[in-house]
Structure 1
């Protein structure tokens, strides 16, 4: 006989599929649902965890469990560190920005090729559609390279949803490393996903014409909420074509 939480998950899944539970609707409290199904709250949470893992239910800390609205993917444009303007410009999409100053240490100092303890500007960006997060980015730049006014509250950066992970517009080369992995605890909390969910993780390193690293960005997107596009431009040697 299947475990009881499977039956509960099947019942709630059916209610969502048939529209009895609408997108955005708050589910009854876990205590009420446990009483309704005559199970313990532990069993009930196993059922909800299964639905959360399937993307049918979203748990918002301090508010409860909600039927997740159909997810729309955004597009990350590789090489530019931007979100596709066609999707990023949608009124429902917004980016929150938080800035601070930190000291370079460990892996961060190595990536930016700066002495340990150097001052860095840090921008943390969170892309949201309504209350649903779509992407998280943390971007770092040596403080002596930060353009005047960039970190001000009224800077143009904060008004632009498309420059999601870019501080400098003067980089000559960009190197991006991409992988799929489980989220860190901080990422899972910020993106409101389970620890077993997969994120698309990008590390973006930009250098100027002298080879100096001007910024490093770490991006994480829930795997079911983003498409990433990378374009390669081939340089044609005109001497060969004319030969």
Structure 2
């Protein structure tokens, strides 16, 4: 037994992990059967199962009942936050998330989970500079990449801003909500100016683990974005819970 492999299953783990990371085993590819791996490594099926369980805990593989073990698809989205990026996507008539995912050769999707009018939670009211007991419209969505859920996004708008607009309706808005807000012939006619973002890392709730199909031990990032208009009035608070293993964030800030 070679140094560094004190346990029989460790060599299996190390070899398969390397093959996955280097791309020799590609996303969605089926791993050899337990019998095949046991013969290859001169060990037993229980030892192979232990190795596969570790790889599953690391988020590298997933099991399908009656089909076997597969390399887990794990799209990684690079999100660039900058004013020029925002304007480029707005001029193209695309929501920023959809545009950036497509630029990276993947397929974006936004599924509306719920649209409702409710009393503003205290934190949301504070960020939107609303009075206590003011109402907001919330649009709850799930963001997917190549069919896999990677983020839960709840966007809150002052009820007075969203009243009598499609923001209150459970359907997609062409170009996204910002296109509606900035439409010079539309009902709101305000210019999106800037945003402030807070990022908080934590472990997911049970519901978030289910909704995002997270593997054990994978944390989430709570992103709270407050969006302002050209007169520094808050337009939206966007609260997103994103899978930490599926996102990379990059911020470009012009200091002068």
TM range (shorter): 0.5 to 0.7
Q: What's the TM-score, normalizing by structure 1?
A: 0.66
Separation of aligned partners in 1, 2:203 and 2:63: 18
> 1:55 matched to which residue of 2?
59
Query: Size of the alignment, in residue pairs?
Result: 225
Q: 1:105 to 1:220 in 2, by over 3 A?
A: closer
Once the 2 structures are TM-superposed, how far is the Cα of residue 6 of structure 1 from its aligned partner? 5.3
> 2:77 matched to which residue of 1?
73
> 1:241 matched to which residue of 2?
none
Separation of aligned partners in 1, 2:137 and 2:8: 51
Q: What's the TM-score, normalizing by structure 2?
A: 0.63
Once the 2 structures are TM-superposed, how far is the Cα of residue 216 of structure 1 from its aligned partner? 0.7
> 2:152 matched to which residue of 1?
136
Counterparts of 1:33-44 in structure 2, within 5 Å, are: 39=46
Partner SS for 2:245: coil
Q: Structure 2 regions of 5+ residues with no counterpart? A: 33-42, 87-94, 183-189
> 2:109 matched to which residue of 1?
94
* Residue in structure 1 matching 2:96, options 76, 82, 106: 82
Partner SS for 1:215: strand
Q: Does 1:224 align with 2:245?
A: yes
Once the 2 structures are TM-superposed, how far is the Cα of residue 230 of structure 1 from its aligned partner? 1.8
Q: Does 1:112 align with 2:116?
A: no
> 2:227 matched to which residue of 1?
206
Using the TM superposition, name which of 79-88 and 15-24 deviates more: 15-24
Partner SS for 1:94: strand
Q: Structure 1 regions of 5+ residues with no counterpart? A: 29-35, 236-243
Separation of aligned partners in 1, 2:68 and 2:60: 14
Relative to total residues, which structure has the larger helix share, 1 or 2? Answer: 2
> 2:140 matched to which residue of 1?
124
